[in-house]
Structure 1
Amino acid sequence: MRILHIATQAPGHTSGGEIGTLLFSYALNNINAVVDYIGPEIKDKAIASWYNKTIYLEKSINKIEKVWTLMHFYFDRHYLGWKRTKIDYNEYQVIFVEFTKMDYFIRDILKSGYRGKIIVRAHNVEHDFFKINFTAHKTFMNGAKYLISKKREGYMIANSDLVLAITELDKKRLIELYNVSPDKVQIFPVAVNLAKDTKVFNGKISERVKCLITGSLWFGPNADATVWFLKEVYPTVRSICDLTVAGFRPNERVKQSCQESGVKLVDSPDNMEPYFNETEMVLAPIFDGGGMKVKIAEALSYGLPVMTTDHGNIGYDLIDRKNGFIANTAQDFISDIKFYYGLDNEARTLILKNSWETYVEKFSLNAATKRCDEIICNITAK
């Protein structure tokens, strides 16, 4: 079997989008198939080597090309690169498309007379994502993206054979927005790379709990959550909590809040592994946004407990004080941090063990590969 994997964000280990794409880079290449890739350049050569063939879309365009692209109401710099790509789609039994915002992929595939199966993966409900982004940053470009997102996402969903949603909530929203059959949408949660082992506590517990906040800190809900925590929670727990904020492209509000709070800020680290290795708990005080929060799966993969909200827990179903912590108010966060601080080695290790087992069973790349194999086998048998 041959599969074509199409993405507008290259797989990698840095941002949530890269990690989200990496899931199917791994899964598709670990089933019985030959997989080719079309998308932005994969900087990690080890990941690129998984594919039989890689076709990289041009990442830069001149001013005339940019105007031409915008005249077609596209804001993606890879649009022209895609249009210039010559490929026989019927060489592939399955075409797998990441994201539901670039309808020109499917339009051109269908124009070619493609006879195989098309799977689309919804990283978010893009129409809702663009609405949130426009609400946070009211620019002309963000407004235009929001206005055209529903039509484009609807086209991709209507003209695919299967849609993979990340959470049950996203599935319900896609059905509601686009009047799609429930049978056409399946749940496929976030999965991330396997860490070497879970953490253990040996000897004396540190006098302060080492905590980490991470994520794409340019994105409104993530930035707002970080600023909220630094203002409403951290002043009360700073005597027992060593906090590091390490994330991608923090906005000015995050930078200023970290400076005012005396919290260490790491701007766009190349590798998050050292920060996960050095921490004892990941904090994700998220109250808005779509999909599953990749950083929670990452934390679980390191055997770390996560303290998040009901919203952040969507798709994970963590159980409070068993394999994670669920807090929805400033007082909840304060109480849970103090509770964890008061636990002994044995109690902390049990929570870490439960976090690790949750990850291996539900959110590991090995678990995702098994699920991917089932989906591909089922859709090609029809």
Structure 2
Amino acid sequence: MTKRILFFFPENPFSNRAGNTTRAKTTLTVLKKMGYHIDLVGSAEIYKSQNDTTDIDKSIVDQLFLINHRPPKVKTSSDYWKHKISKFYKKPNEYNHLLTDFAKKEFINILNKEKYDAIIINYEFWAGLIDNESMKNTLKIVDTHDWITLNEFYKNKSLDIGKRFNEEINNLSKFDKVITISEDEHLVFKRFLGEKVINIPPSFTSHFEKNNTGKKYDLIFVGSENIFNIQSMKWFFDHVYPLLPQNIHIIIIGRICKHFQEREGVKLVEYAENLEEYYHQSKIAICPMLEGTGIKIKVIEALSYGLPVVGTERAIDGFPAKTSNGCLVTDNPDLFKDQIMSLLQDESSYQDMKIQVENYFKNNFSEEKAIEKWKNILH
């Protein structure tokens, strides 16, 4: 009999919007390839705020459910009055205002309609969805995506780190298995939560290409419009771009394009349905990240196409190995430029780096590796 998984991810994983949605989609793909029946649950408010459609890939997900954080404004409804009255005596969730009692009730109602073998919750701050006795015999898994305390600290330096990290560990402790995607975070959480913490790095199907001739772009960057990406590309344009020769061709893809103007040698593509053609048309991926936590999905995706990566030290956060990984890293703009130019001008060095990329990707980020790890958790 086919086993069933209830998979909660707040936004549409098929939106192709950013690294987090790509991560969720690749996880769903792996689980489907393992033969699971998967129902997807999202947050109605987040779908609305992101202008997400309810279109899903039916070859991967069987059904989509959306939960609301509050009931409809129907004054004859008991749910409406319970929610309204609760606001007078119950504080909203400090770290996730959408995680209300009503949202939890909607999630439980979905769970109780079917028999699920496992529940997978994406993000620690949605852990409250499993606070119900009816789930005690179901395997509960959280995919952390990130070290949330550190991520929030980067955005808010006045954050009470001790309080927030205590909340994070308490939330993670509710689960039977805790999935990290970064080796750095795996080491941190394992100290507090023990063997239930398992590292499953992001995985992709490989798209290696032997032909390196006729490439349209020298450099490619793919990114959403989060603050870390914006800071990173501003640093690149302020400090590295002026050092590069004028005949360099750069393509930037994603919503980050809203924050930059086209300039000589730079093409902006705000949305691409499929990144494959752009990666195959490019020689090198760049990742000049200055802040941010966790493994960089964009880096692994670039490696899956056999592209060498030139980045800052933050580009390889979470990697098991800091060298011989297909990436050249430096925080110095002059050296950043030199690394780009050495790959573009020395074909032998470029080909050696491509071999390194392919070997490192196969050994760490292939779908086969991810399936093997998920089998150990679910079987």
- Range class of TM-score, shorter chain: 0.7 to 0.9
User: Secondary structure of 2:140's partner?
Assistant: strand
Q: How does 1:84-163 map to 2 (within 5 A)?
A: 84-85=106-107, 86-88=109-111, 91-107=115-131, 110-135=132-157, 149-150=164-165, 152-163=167-178
Aligned to 1:328: 331
Report the Cα distance in structure 2 between the residues aligned to 1:77 and 1:288, rounded to whole angstroms: 28
| 8 A contact 1:14–1:271 mirrored in 2 | no
Matches of 1:193 and 1:304, distance apart in 2: 14
Choose from 205, 223, 231 the match for 1:215: 223
* Gaps in structure 2 of 5+ consecutive residues: 75-79
Structure 2 contact 250–265 (Cα < 8 Å) conserved: no
TM superposition shift of 1:8:
1.4
Do the aligned residues in 1 keep the contact of 2:178 with 2:198 (CA within 8 Å)? Answer: yes
Q: Is the 8 A contact 2:240 2:334 kept in 1?
A: yes
User: 1:102 Cα shift?
Assistant: 1.3
Cα deviation for residue 7 of structure 1 reads 1.4
SS at structure 2 position matched to 1:233: helix
Aligned to 1:279: 282
CA contact 2:123–2:145 (8 Å) conserved in 1: yes
- Choose 61-70 or 79-88, whichever is displaced more: 61-70
How many angstroms apart in 1 are the aligned matches of 2:70 and 2:220? 35
Instruction: Tell me, yes or no, if structure 1 residue 26 matches structure 2 residue 48.
Output: no
How do residues 205-244 of structure 1 correspond to structure 2 at under 5 angstroms? 210-216=218-224, 218-244=225-251
Distance 1:156 1:276 in 2: 38
Per-residue deviation, 1:124: 0.5
Q: Is the 8 A contact 2:92 2:100 kept in 1?
A: no
Higher RCO (CA < 8 A, seq sep 6+): 1
Q: 2:354 aligns with which of 352, 368, 372?
A: 352
5+ long unaligned stretches in structure 1 = 378-382
Does residue 61 of structure 2 align to residue 54 of structure 1? no
What whole-Å deviation, never above 9, does each CA across 1:114-156 have from its counterpart, x for those lacking one? 3122111110011221222235xx9xxxx79x89854553332
Alignment partners' CA distance in 2, 1:268 and 1:340? 28
d(CA) in 1 for partners of 2:341 and 2:312?
17
Q: Deviations over 1:340-370 (max 9, x none)?
A: 12212x5433432432333233213333122
Alpha-carbon shift at residue 35 of structure 1 (Å): 2.7
CA RMSD of aligned residues (A): 3.5
Residue of structure 2 in register with 1:380 after alignment? none
1:286, CA displacement in angstroms? 1.4
| 2:209 aligns with one of 198, 211, 215 | 198
* CA deviation map 1:170-228 (0-9, x unaligned): 1233356xxx2331212111113443x425224xx77x961012212x32222111111
Aligned to 2:369: 367
Shift of 1:322: 7.1
Structure 2 vs 1, CA of residues 30 and 293 (structure 1 numbering), >3 Å: closer, same or farther?
same
Tell me the number of residue pairs that the alignment of Structure 1 and Structure 2 aligns: 355
| Aligned-residue offset at 1:159 | 0.7
The question of whether the paired residues in 2 share the 8 Å contact of 1:99 and 1:120 is answered with yes
TM-score (norm 1): 0.79
- Residues 1:181 and 1:174: Cα distance change in structure 2 (over 3 Å): closer
Q: Residue by residue, what CA displacement relative to the aligned partner does 1:251-295 show, whole Å, maximum 9, x if unpaired?
A: 6xx42xx45777333334444334323211110011321111000
Provide the rounded CA distance (Å) in 1 between the counterparts of 2:33 and 2:101: 29
Q: Using the TM superposition, name which of 364-373 and 123-132 deviates more.
A: 364-373
The answer as to whether partners of 2:308 and 2:327 remain within 8 angstroms in 1 is yes
User: Displacement, 1:304?
Assistant: 1.0
Counterparts of 2:373 and 2:222 in 1: how far apart (Å)?
Answer: 28
Indicate conservation of the 8 Å contact 1:215/1:222, yes or no.
Answer: yes
Provide the C-alpha distance between the structure 1 equivalents of 2:70 and 2:305, rounded to a whole number of angstroms. Answer: 36
Contact 1:246 1:265 (C-alpha < 8 Å) held by counterparts = yes
AA at the equivalent of 2:57: I
State the AA in 2 paired with 1:187. Answer: N
| Alignment CA distance shift 1:154-1:264 (3 Å) | same
CA shift for structure 1 position 317: 5.1
Asked if 1 retains the 8 angstrom alpha-carbon contact of 2:119 and 2:138, the reply is yes
8 Å CA contact 1:102–1:152 kept in 2: the answer is no
Change over 3 Å in CA distance of 1:36–1:46 after alignment to 2: closer
State the shift of 1:375 in Å.
2.1
Helix, strand or coil: the match of 1:241?
A: coil
Offset, 1:334: 1.4
- Is the counterpart of residue 247 in structure 1 residue 254 in structure 2? yes
Which of residues 3, 6, 9 is equivalent to 1:4? Answer: 6
Matching residue's letter, 2:116: Y
AA aligned to 1:5 is: F
Q: Which one of 199, 204, 226 corresponds to residue 187 of structure 1?
A: 199
Distance 2:73 2:221 in 1: 39
Quick one: distance in 2 between partners of 1:59 and 1:269?
32
Q: Would the aligned equivalents of 2:248 and 2:265 in 1 still touch at CA under 8 Å?
A: no
Q: Is the 8 A contact 2:209 2:305 kept in 1?
A: yes
* Native 8 Å contact 1:106 1:156 kept in 2: no
